[in-house]
Structure 1
């Protein structure tokens, strides 16, 4: 296999798995109202679905992502895909809500092994176009994420919710076979692992600590929509329309991340962050306070379009500052985002149980405002001189 063919094959496999990861996460979000009915649990307990998954994902990130330069990356990618298939099958067999939460944690850990290493491979395969490729990588996730809720809707027309996980597990088998047949890219020999002394060095880098702080709020906003949007929409629309709102939101990620894959190479990272932050504040307020009906659905799409570009833009900003530490920077980025995933959905669940889901969702406006403050601080402060031409 030629180097070009090998690179293309690796890209297809990495993009395919991340698409399935998106489908798994968003199928889970679409099933939250079903979990409430099947297991008869309160909103506070429903709010634990995303945090439990976050714990498993972060553990995998910390264990494997920080060791990306010391381990056989291909071997652990194979282990991840195989373990994900097994854990997805078990997830669909959960007899109680507590076991469901436990299996969600196992599935997230299994998937997290792959996600802690995939960007390292892509970064070394495409050293001259990292920002664009990483944005396209997140776009592949968005394609799968959009299809996840739709799969739930189609399956539940005729079958039980468990069939969703059976279908996804079977669909992952070709990815495992294709990965097995690939050779390890030689460029991975340049990957470095994260040593204890490196942590302080990386976190002193403005682009990296700025990335991490901002991603806590980005992860918070995304996780609230992932976990609660169908439930929130159920108070405002018919069940059919409510089930489609998450797909509308996620469908916007596809053109959004495609657009940002080009914008990230043409504009300063901080300029993009400030602009998107202001748009999100206005759109969040309009959607969650003022709008209703069709206007709300349109605003959900707008929010999805702009919020989709934040994670790839921020992680590209961090990686471009220290490209030889792609794996460790990926870990820092994901742990930061997952901190938001851990805190925000559970917080909304507690607020919703004490008040209403409509009141709880207005937390999103405050999160968007916090992001604007951070982005402006970075633009006027330590990253004021950063230009698009500075990036490799």
Structure 2
């Protein structure tokens, strides 16, 4: 196995584990509430706790990607994440559980700050397609997470989920222990503070970040609160299966979009997809018929699955020589939405109800369409639409 294939396989294996770690959180919300006896507002802190360290790590690592010893950095982060999973499984109080979650998210952020830049340098002519395949692999892991939770609850307790997660990064670590450092260390330009400010002032990058905050807000709210919402009309196991179904719908969606993105305008594609999400999101959290809710949830997953990978690939194409920093900025925007929106939903749910709080996500989908539509119009009128160096 050559170096490129070894790194690609290791990244995809990590991605499966990362998706599992993220998606078990929402499926475990009812169990965490029962175990620690906390309110919905405090349960909403699960998402920001898992993201605050992640965001800091991905920004620091992503903006330093050209100066790091990539293999050692990734292996160290995988080791920290593995130990932290065990610690989360034995946490006696909610506050300590959240603290370990911060550490685990930070370790994941280190790897996420490097994985897609590595892929971008390995496959410079196929970034859109590779990023959608990467996202497809993520969806495979994510769809398995609620099933893992159901299996653990059927034979033991919620703590067993984290003991199982302690094993998920070992295959990737085994592959990388025998790998040579990737070309990222030679191909990525060093980023000065002035370069970083220039990236942040590029209106295309600003548009990408705003769009990904919106898509992250929708996904994070559903990831965290869908099982809790569905517990109102389904059994806990069925509610977790609904989240799994939502994530399974990402798989055909991303398989199709990985092909479409090379044949149609990517920004026009995501505008259409986000507009399709508006009615499905509203119906999913206002309908009273469980079958209608299930259908709307699955359609939402199919449509929303193409937003993040397609927009983030566009962002990297804006400045391909700075793929690490652009990936960090874009992912930080996405995870800002993933962390802040679920907390806001928790606060709103405490004042109204969870269905009303989640139905507001339809408005966020409209905001995404406005941002990406504006970005597309300006890119179309711009005399220079080639990626900036």
Q: Which residue of 1 aligns with 2:58?
A: 61
Alignment pair present for 1:52 and 2:49: yes
Q: What per-residue deviation string (whole Å, max 9, x for no partner) do you get for residues 248-300 of structure 1?
A: 11111111111111121111122112101210112112222236212211211
> How far off its partner does 1:339 sit?
1.6
Q: How far apart are the structure 1 equivalents of 2:191 and 2:385?
A: 27
TM-score normalized with structure 1 length: 0.95
Q: How far apart are the structure 2 equivalents of 1:171 and 1:381?
A: 43
Could you say if the C-alpha distance between residues 384 and 230 of structure 1 is closer, same or farther in structure 2, counting changes exceeding 3 Å? Answer: farther
Q: Which residue of 2 aligns with 1:238?
A: 235
Q: How far apart are the structure 2 equivalents of 1:40 and 1:126?
A: 48
Q: Which residue of 2 aligns with 1:40?
A: 37
> How far off its partner does 1:198 sit?
1.2
Q: How far apart are the structure 2 equivalents of 1:222 and 1:384?
A: 31
> How far off its partner does 1:390 sit?
8.5
Contact 2:216-2:335 within 8 A present in 1 as well: yes
- 3-state SS, counterpart of residue 105 of structure 2: helix
Q: Which residue of 1 aligns with 2:182?
A: 185
Equivalent of 1:283, from 280, 284, 290? 280
Q: How far apart are the structure 1 equivalents of 2:150 and 2:52?
A: 28
Q: Report 1:1-392 matches (<5 A).
A: 5-186=2-183, 188-290=185-287, 292-384=289-381
Q: How far apart are the structure 1 equivalents of 2:184 and 2:290?
A: 52
Q: Unmatched 5+ residue regions in structure 1?
A: none
- 3-state SS, counterpart of residue 257 of structure 1: helix
Q: Unmatched 5+ residue regions in structure 2?
A: none
> How far off its partner does 1:384 sit?
4.5
Could you say if the C-alpha distance between residues 339 and 187 of structure 1 is closer, same or farther in structure 2, counting changes exceeding 3 Å? Answer: closer
Q: How far apart are the structure 2 equivalents of 1:324 and 1:222?
A: 29
Q: How far apart are the structure 2 equivalents of 1:387 and 1:293?
A: 50
Q: How far apart are the structure 1 equivalents of 2:81 and 2:181?
A: 21
User: What is the CA RMSD across the aligned residues, in angstroms?
Assistant: 1.9
Runs of 4+ in 1 over 4 A off after TM superposition: 383-391
Contact 1:80-1:114 within 8 A present in 2 as well: yes
Q: How far apart are the structure 2 equivalents of 1:146 and 1:36?
A: 22
Could you say if the C-alpha distance between residues 25 and 247 of structure 1 is closer, same or farther in structure 2, counting changes exceeding 3 Å? Answer: same
- 3-state SS, counterpart of residue 135 of structure 1: helix
Q: What per-residue deviation string (whole Å, max 9, x for no partner) do you get for residues 64-102 of structure 1?
A: 111000111111011111111111111111100000110
Could you say if the C-alpha distance between residues 301 and 385 of structure 1 is closer, same or farther in structure 2, counting changes exceeding 3 Å? Answer: farther
Q: How far apart are the structure 2 equivalents of 1:26 and 1:186?
A: 31
Q: How far apart are the structure 2 equivalents of 1:336 and 1:121?
A: 20
Contact 1:268-1:386 within 8 A present in 2 as well: no
Q: What per-residue deviation string (whole Å, max 9, x for no partner) do you get for residues 306-327 of structure 1?
A: 1111100110000011111110
